[in-house]
Structure 1
Amino acid sequence: MSEHAKPAVAPENPRFSSGPCAKRPGWSAAALDDAPLGRSHRAKIGKSKLAEAIELTREVLQVPQDYRIGIVPASDTGAMEMAMWSLLGPRGVDVLAWESFGSGWVTDVVKQLRLSDVRVLEAGYGEIVDLAEPDFSRDVIFTWNGTTSGVRVPNADWIPADREGLSICDATSAAFAQPLDFAKLDVVTFSWQKALGGEGAHGMLILSPRAVERLESYTPAWPMPKIFRMTKGGELIEGIFKGETINTPSMLCVEDYLDALKWARDIGGLSALIARADANAGAISDWVARTGWVDFLAADPAIRSNTSVCLKIVDPRVAALPDDKQAAFAKAMASALEKAGVALDIGAYRDAPSGFRVWCGATVETSDVTALLPWFDWAFEAELSALGQAA
């Protein structure tokens, strides 16, 4: 497509990264003016800010009152590994994986913790495991929303209420965009830089009463790093879940998370956040339905993410190319969109099939998603033309 045929309208915010994700609409650095910089996080003001972050998380996510919420180190990865190192061992474990991060938890359980009784249930990119297979007399680990594949579990109906084991859920691309059934979840983790566009390095760990009971009744056989320790003398360290963090948090990041939570609360809470994400994903779905060269990586709409929307090129002229040439074509499109200033960081994850990944969480405006879509068509035609010239 020629240069003069570029679409007339561009997204106002070209940030469609799947992490760190776009800031909330209207965000500016002035939102951080109240951050207690140069103060101890253990001072009264620091503790109050951290406690407020925990309680606003509870309010916006609709977390039951008897669940503990803690701010922990090292993002979602830190929260998940903290949970696995602390809780796994008393029962066999089923680990579900259908994309990169789920596969990472498989590696942790099998190669690092080296548990003896492990079942790994895996599916390829764009697919999901048979959710009738997990055995909830065992502990079950899964990713609610596969960020790198655009696949999510459709609901929590497959998790029994009377389960014997713990359900351990990495919810980092699902929290604040998809309804989490906490009654079916014993551990929930996520990070600030995902659905609300916060800053990195901090994770959230949510524990059910059943998970707390496990912590207080079981001592792992392996050495526990200090940043993983949640009990002392066989009892939960309650301070962790009241804002007394294990290590030093960034109060600037805390302020930013508070700003995002207050925005979420003020626009209508969880239902409003889910509606915004659904509208964004819906705009892409409508475009895919009328566009022949592109399709979703996840073929089944029931398991298709409304946040990390993953797309693949299906045009036969590109699909006939060798895999490396297909990947180069998609990368060239992503590069063209970045150079045009209309879409940043939308290439597929490095371990995923070639294509695109567009973040559609609640901090993204539907008008920006809608404005982006004609640019995808422009970039496709431009690269197709270049491919023909090269041939």
Structure 2
Amino acid sequence: MNAPRPASRPGNPCFSSGPCAKRPGWSLGSLSEAALGRSHRAKLGKAKLAEVIERSKKILGMPADWRLGIVPASDTGAVEMALWSLLGRRGVDVLAWESFGEGWASDVSKQLKLDNLRLLKAGYGALPDLTQVDFSRDVVFTWNGTTSGVKLPNGNWIPTGRAGLTICDATSAAFAMDLPWDKLDVVTWSWQKVLGGEAAHGMLALSPRAVERLESYTPAWPLPKIFRLTKSGKLIEGVFKGETINTPSMLAVEDALDGLKWAEEIGGLKALIARSEASLKSVADWVGASDWADFLAEKPETRSCTSICLKIVDPWFLSLDADAQAAAAKRIASLLEEEGVAFDIGSYRDAPVGLRLWGGATVEPADMAALLPWLDWAYGAVKSDKAAA
């Protein structure tokens, strides 16, 4: 039997996993103080860039002796900057349980051509065996698998006294999950995720251990200008004070500030995490009663509260061939977009067939709850249409 058509709908249908929903109440008027037409190197421009850095550090509870800089090319640029600038002194363990981790492993192997590389891999839905990680080596990993919905439950698997560096891609975790700064050496993210900022800019956070590596080690390969963090063997401190390597969008900077100020107004990191966790709880309660949907993450403690990935477990659906399954899942997402209920919730192109709901802090938990009956309605409609065909 088809689920009834829901009477209410989400107030904001934006559930994309990036760029993500703007904060509640956002409008273009929120950016009226942007330093448009001004140099990013002028006093006003540098002050705004430095403000993004300082507000971010404060909200995240980053240790005072860490450096945080704004870098080009979103989270991808920040991660690549770390890989190209820091790796090569030691062997490297790369953890991969979804497409982005696999991408970092490919770059380390095929671009940097490091032969002392180990890939610790798990399929979508699971984590690699963390007990096999060798911390005498450098370790590269995502905190939250954006395309699998599988996160690290904690940092207990990382020793405090380690020889290698831990390089963490935290783009869909920062501002929505607790990050154990004492277990990390490099942390990256972008503005377009949990706080709903505009894309193109990345954030690169470095521990004192990471800075020491930068100042004592020169990679064997040439570094493009946008990756260079040292000069004459010393850290370029200006990068971490708002003196960006390239020209940033001052409109995007203002938008980043708007998101950070909103985060402070609602209660900081604890409030941001609580909003994401509330959305996840709604989905978990719904999944518990569903006869057709389940989490892609195999263990509850690894379920992401931001990129919430669902698989379809109805025997009817599983009886379809792979192409038919993909078409049905795509039709579910398209039907909800046509209704103006949910945009961009199809699973990532390299991930298993299913749905992906963004539950970051800018999504109202009430909107997530309102979406769930629509998922039942859309699935029922697609199943009925396929069965009748």
* TM-score scaled by length of structure 1: 0.99
In 2, the alpha carbon distance for the partners of 1:36 and 1:55 equals 18
Partner of 1:268: 267
> What whole-Å deviation, never above 9, does each CA across 1:192-249 have from its counterpart, x for those lacking one?
0011100000000000000000000000110100000000000000000000000000
Which amino acid letter does the alignment assign opposite residue 219 of structure 1? Answer: T
Residue pairs, 1:266-345, within 5 angstroms? 266-345=265-344
1:168 Cα deviation after fit: 0.2
1:12 Cα deviation after fit: 0.6
1:266 Cα deviation after fit: 1.0
Which amino acid letter does the alignment assign opposite residue 271 of structure 2? Answer: A
1:331 Cα deviation after fit: 0.5
Structure 2 unpaired stretches of 5+? none
In 1, the alpha carbon distance for the partners of 2:230 and 2:274 equals 39
Number of residue equivalences: 389
Q: Indicate yes or no: 2:196 matched with 1:184.
A: no
RMSD of aligned C-alpha atoms? Answer: 0.9
Partner of 1:145: 144
In 1, the alpha carbon distance for the partners of 2:182 and 2:262 equals 26
1:316 Cα deviation after fit: 0.3
Partner of 1:210: 209
Partner of 1:39: 38
Which amino acid letter does the alignment assign opposite residue 9 of structure 1? Answer: S
Q: Indicate yes or no: 2:99 matched with 1:100.
A: yes
Structure 1 unpaired stretches of 5+? none
SS in structure 2 of the partner of residue 248 of structure 1: coil
In 2, the alpha carbon distance for the partners of 1:142 and 1:319 equals 32
Query: In percent, how many aligned pairs have the same letter?
Result: 68
1:371 Cα deviation after fit: 0.6
Partner of 2:133: 134
In 2, the alpha carbon distance for the partners of 1:162 and 1:58 equals 24
> What whole-Å deviation, never above 9, does each CA across 1:248-277 have from its counterpart, x for those lacking one?
000000000000000001110001100000
Residue pairs, 1:35-114, within 5 angstroms? 35-114=34-113
Partner of 1:241: 240
In 1, the alpha carbon distance for the partners of 2:219 and 2:272 equals 38
Which amino acid letter does the alignment assign opposite residue 333 of structure 2? Answer: A
In 1, the alpha carbon distance for the partners of 2:270 and 2:262 equals 13
In 2, the alpha carbon distance for the partners of 1:218 and 1:136 equals 19
Which amino acid letter does the alignment assign opposite residue 148 of structure 2? Answer: S
In 1, the alpha carbon distance for the partners of 2:222 and 2:365 equals 48
Partner of 2:253: 254
1:302 Cα deviation after fit: 1.1
Would you identify which runs of 4 or more consecutive aligned residues in structure 1 move more than 3 Å?
none
Residue pairs, 1:158-173, within 5 angstroms? 158-173=157-172
Which amino acid letter does the alignment assign opposite residue 34 of structure 1? Answer: E
* TM-score scaled by length of structure 2: 0.99
Which amino acid letter does the alignment assign opposite residue 371 of structure 1? Answer: A
